[in-house]
Structure 1
């Protein structure tokens, strides 16, 4: 009983820390935009909840074309993603090795803790849902891979 009360208190405290909003967005109502400059060109994003550039929870959708590659990088905070269609190939290292990447197919889920080095690529068009605690950031291991430095 003590354990149940403790868990209930923790859930209530956590719920009070987040805005109590509801959100209903049909796929046809999503506002797709080009991926921000921190990501390689060709991707599209739709913000579903929150603001990934600010503190607090967020959820976004990402569309990536065939052959899309996000070079080795890390995020300051944890990242959670679910593949909705297609497949995402994820490697957990500082260098790209497509032969050892994990294929995460439609319906698959991936959690990567903050500061863990990884890379991702697609072979076919792929749609993801990504959620976490903002602000979202991406830190490339090799400065030459950062699209913000390319002209």
Structure 2
């Protein structure tokens, strides 16, 4: 099951790069790609449902996270980034494609509660459940799949990233 899900996410990424998939959830072809073949360089500032910390880039692979329906977003985080506790209105699955991502759950950032997930690791983000995370000495690439509409709410609004920061 884990391999099938990972292959579906990678397939969606390649289709988007070749223009074969439709952002609104149109027909999707079959293909296979490795994480090294995926390129994510667009700013995440306009992508709904991600943390918006500086050093993030994102690409919507399928669907539209602002609308009702299935979506997948490929998210790249630079090394040494911290995501403070936040939640989303929709439930999501996250698959680590490259690097090690450290994830924890709760209303306050607690480094002792972080669990490192290597490539192939999967975790869920249940709707309205606060979670937090960080990258360490390497960038991380994850695929987020949910059923929108999505959004992001910080547990402590003062910890939300400021535009351009």
- Greater fraction strand: 1
Partner of 1:130: 144
Please state whether the residue corresponding to 1:52 is helix, strand or coil.
coil
- Alignment length (residue pairs): 134
Partner of 1:22: 28
Quick check: which has more Rg, 1 or 2? 1
Cα RMSD for the two superposed structures: 2.4
Residue segments in structure 2 that go unaligned for 5+ positions in a row: 1-23
Distance 1:115 1:65 in 2: 26
Give runs of aligned pairs for residues 1-151 of structure 1, distance below 5 A.
21-23=27-29, 32-36=41-45, 39-123=52-136, 124-148=138-162
Distance 2:96 2:90 in 1: 20
Deviations 1:49-105 (A, max 9, x none): 011122111011111011111110111110110000111111111111112211111
Question: Cα gap change, 1:23/1:138 in structure 2, threshold over 3 Å: closer, same or farther?
Answer: farther
Residue segments in structure 1 that go unaligned for 5+ positions in a row: 1-17
Deviations 1:99-129 (A, max 9, x none): 2211111100111210111111111210001
TM-score normalised to the size of structure 1? 0.78
TM-score normalised to the size of structure 2? 0.72
